[in-house]
Amino acid sequence: MPDSFNFQELLDGYATPWAINIAMALAIFFIGRKIARILLHLVDKMLNKAGMDAMLVGFVHSILNALLLLLIIIAALDQLGVNTTSFIALIGAAGLAVGLALQGSLQNFASGVLLIIFHPFRVGHFIEAGGVSGVVEEIGIFSTRMKTGDNREIIVPNGAIYGGNITNNSARTTRRIDMVFGIGYDADIKKAKEIMQSILEADERVLKDPAPLIAVAELADSSVNFVVRPWVNSSDYWAVKFDVTEKVKLAFDDAGISIPFPQMDVHINKSE
Give me the residues paired with residue 228 across strands.
179, 214
State percent of the chain over pLDDT 90. Answer: 44
Task: Out of 19-23, 92-96, 239-243, pick the least confident.
Answer: 92-96
Residue 2 pLDDT exceeds 70? no
Average pLDDT, the chain: 84
Output DSSP code: residue 206. B
Pick from 42, 44, 66, 63: which is nearest to 53 by CA? 44
Q: What mean pLDDT is predicted for residues 139-150?
A: 89
State the pLDDT confidence band at 94, using cuts at 50, 70 and 90.
low
The most confident of the ranges 6-15, 51-60, 217-226 is 217-226
Give me the residues paired with residue 144 across strands.
139, 156
Contact present, 249 and 179 (Cβ < 8 Å) = no
Bigger pLDDT: 1 vs 150: 150
pLDDT of residue 203: 95
